[in-house]
Structure 1
């Protein structure tokens, strides 16, 4: 366990600093991020200890790349409950969307204060009835951000900390930081170098690796968004401006990774790519097993269940097809019975016709 706190091998000479000396004081942002960075460092160092304990070199690129992958797996696994909660909140918002539109249509064009207050009350009452709010679907994402930022800053700070013989905020001490600094992917591409630095130093292989990773990142992000738009939206969700914005973001959002590929160190790009792969696989599993009701993915799931002799009941539970058909027949019979027992609605008639009908009932025709 000593490797959790110290390097396994002697560190080479300290590199000449090319970055400003990191500040030792804690500003407001650093104070907030400190516990998240500490947790990230602890997980990263733990995985490094695991791999060095089985004989891998402490400063090898493979050791640190696997440690980064292990870091992503642990953090993203811990965030799965938040992801599930976010999915449920989004589903509830989609379910009440038609009712929200009715409220909006009711007060469309009304700008007075009383109308706005009434619209707000009805909207909040609708949220309370269904147990959701727009914030509830965004809250899990907001909770994730400090952890993801902690991962980003921990990996990004490796270069300047190593150049100034410093460690991180926790278990990633100066020796381990230096080992990370010396690590090279495929023994040719330093994990602390970004594309601009590699290009300036003539490190062609590093530039090629970064370009390939950026292309894969863009492709994985595009495929993840495409899954949602093409398979997991109900017909109602495919109308309006929100859907058009999603289609635009399908092509615009992946381009943001070009920026990350140019300015972020290779270690950060590897983390981002691994996280993207996790998101893509996670989204595939959710769409396949918990699709949005009414979407193409939901229809495909129902077809798969039908081929296995199963179906979904009203609560979304998987039941045998015979039981489902019996339940549907029972519900149909109950609906028909209720319809037959319901009092028939009298059609409105004019006063003149009603008077003639009353005279006819009072003086029925007699047989000759």
Structure 2
């Protein structure tokens, strides 16, 4: 880890300078040598970095939305080239290129934070070793070594020996309890963030490599950070726990306010929007009107959630307009719109089912001659009201066209002696 951190030593001076500036601010309130002053300085560093990364987060969200739109095409490629893995991967890469997206986009925020993460690790490691680094001079170094968070020094790790912890004026039990709790919280927050995304903001019914990647991240990332966390100083654990909480809150806001079309989160959002319309009689907020306008513009291409929303609006007596507003509709018009929104195209039967339905009562092939059923020779003896047996329909499910002057529908069976 020290070798990796040293690769990012070029950014240690800016990181240490930012921490020192925040330390001056919080030191005036809590005292310069307290864990609150140094701990809040690290938390503020995280907040500053994440604010700078908001444009990257927006780009990540757009890329993930594009991946959702591509799900049907990706599924079609999988089915078409299921026996040719190489061709399947080539077609997938071509699809990503044409759409301008990348399946690894969800890793962008983590990759962008890596230099700051390792720079902070390098700074805290130097503090633990008693070495000045960046703008942290000897007085600041002594102050940082005295700072404790719940009894654990900022530079202590879970694997430190009792002698090293004692040199930082702490005991091994306090350090291991605090670091263990922080590692567990860090891993759980990482897992919950990814699980929240998988359960609420994506369509799990479509099995694609993108979905498999997201599932892998949900289980593997928390395990990786749990294993690596035992070597992280307390200050780095504070950093990573803070960034996980920020990511979780940021993602929760996006899921609740701008969900992915077709997801469970969109269904919940549209239900809340419908309740708001029923209460206030209008669409409040420009962002909400933009969402309704987009739904109206889709027309017949709306997903199930959007069709249900339009039908529910009509049932309440409202009609969605092209500008994203709603107006009171005539009850008859509202009922017609609700019926139109609920109308579904009938499912087309497969060829096997159509043949099975048409051949329910098979008959003899016309080329094989007349039916083998023995006809009645005592036709004249039967009562005039008797109804003769109807011949079975042809095996293809179709009916022969009637000749000119011949009555349509089932015909009387012909006598075997007939020439025709």
Q: TM-score, normalised by structure 2?
A: 0.60
Give the aligned partner of residue 266 of structure 1. Answer: 234
Q: Which one has more relative contact order, counting CA pairs under 8 Å at least 6 apart?
A: 1
| Preserved CA contact (<8 Å) 2:162 2:172 | yes
Q: Is the 8 A contact 1:218 1:255 kept in 2?
A: yes
Q: Determine if contact 2:5/2:121 at 8 Å carries over to the other structure.
A: no
* Superimposed CA distance per residue, residues 161-201 of structure 1 (whole angstroms, 9 cap, x where no aligned partner): xx24x222xx2333323321221224x32211112326565
| 2:38 maps to which of 60, 64, 77 | 64
1:123: Cα distance to partner?
4.9
Q: Distance in 2 between matches of 1:197 and 1:60?
A: 22
Superposed displacement of residue 38, structure 1 = 2.6
The structure with the larger Rg is 2
Deviation at 1:246, TM superposition (A): 4.6
Q: Are 1:215 and 2:184 counterparts?
A: yes
The answer on whether the counterparts of 2:121 and 2:233 sit within 8 Å (CA) in structure 1 is no
Which of 71, 76, 83 aligns to 1:102? It is: 76
Provide the aligned C-alpha RMSD in A. 4.1
1:240, distance to aligned residue in structure 2 (A): 5.1
Residue 222 of structure 1 deviates from its aligned partner by: 2.6
How many angstroms apart in 1 are the aligned matches of 2:294 and 2:261?
Answer: 12
2:320 aligned with 1:324: yes
The structure that is helix-richer by fraction is: 1
Residue 138 of structure 1: how far off its partner (Å): 4.8
- Using a 3 Å threshold, how does the CA distance of structure 1 residues 314 and 65 change in structure 2: closer, same or farther? same
Q: Which residue of 2 aligns with 1:81?
A: 55
**Distance apart, 1:70 and its partner CA:** 0.8
Cα deviation, residue 141, structure 1: 4.4
1:115-194 equivalences in 2 (<5 Å)? 116=87, 120=90, 123=92, 126-127=95-96, 129-134=98-103, 138-139=107-108, 141-160=110-129, 163-164=130-131, 166-168=132-134, 171-186=135-150, 188-194=151-157
260-269 or 273-282: bigger deviation: 260-269
Inter-partner Cα distance in structure 2 for 1:28 and 1:214: 21
Aligned to 1:50: 25
**Structure 2 match to 1:308:** 276
Residue deviations 1:312-333 (CA, integer Å, cap 9, x gap): 325369x996452678989x89
Q: Give the 3 Å change call, closer, same or farther, for CA 140–108 of structure 1 in structure 2.
A: same
User: When the two structures are aligned, how many residues end up with a matched partner?
Assistant: 306
Quote how far apart the aligned CAs of 1:297 are.
1.2
Q: Which residue of 2 aligns with 1:345?
A: none
Tell me which residue corresponds to 1:196: 159
